[in-house]
Amino acid sequence: MSHLDHARAARAARAETRSRIETAAARLFGERGYAATTIDDIAAAAGLSKPMLYRHFDSKKELHLELLERHRDGLAAAPPGEPPRGGDPDARLRAVLEAWFEQVESSPYTWRLLSAGTTGDPEVQELQRAIRARQRAAGEALLRQFAPWLPGAELEPLGEAVRSSFHGLALWWLEHRDTPRALLVSAMLRVVRGLVAPPGERGEGRPAPEGAYGA
């Protein structure tokens, strides 16, 4: 084997070991929380010695930050991608929700990372806040596309309603894994459908007049 082949094999082995550590840590942080998970727990779950783990990560905090950074785009995509345009609005919304819940199903422990306690570590909390802000912005974008008549002042709080509903239902699903994905999609469709229903179809009367929010 040439020197180049040795180097490639070493890089592949390092990447595989790092992946094992991250997978074990994501599962344990999700199941137990950040504070209750130790480096020894992670090393044992990954099938490594603690010194071997420390060759890849200097601390539990660094590992947690790495997981949040690695999964930031996936965690912030709620829903992922651009909703399909044209056609029946309900079918388009259902396609969005199907894609989102498929993502949750494919990486279940990732979604618990945002809820994992960090004993008040400001750096981790700041990253978690940034991810939640991006999720909220994705909810706002969804509402702007499907309900352009919504008052601008309502978009941010409604975007938070979308974000928290998506995230809360994802966490609930992880505790009720026998629930069919189709049922989750239908339930979430009811929530979003209520938010994007045209004026006069929500039982709330006409939109609030200009300046009603103190602008």
Q: What's the CATH fold of domain 3-58?
A: Arc Repressor Mutant, subunit A (1.10.10)
Where do the structural domains in the chain lie, given as residue ranges? Answer: 3-58, 72-196
Q: Which of 69, 93, 59, 65 is nearest to 79 (CA)?
A: 93
Q: pLDDT in tens for each of the 215 residues of the chain?
A: 676 766 777 788 888 999 999 989 988 887 887 888 999 999 999 999 999 999 999 998 899 888 888 777 666 655 544 555 666 778 888 888 888 888 888 777 777 776 665 556 788 788 888 888 888 988 898 888 888 889 999 999 999 999 899 888 988 988 898 999 999 999 999 998 888 887 666 544 444 444 443 43
- For 13, residues 6+ apart whose C-beta sits below 8 A from its C-beta are none
> What pLDDT is attached to residue 118?
57
> What pLDDT is attached to residue 154?
92
Specify whether domain 72-196 bears CATH 3.55.50.
no
Cα separation, 44 vs 23, in Å, equals 12
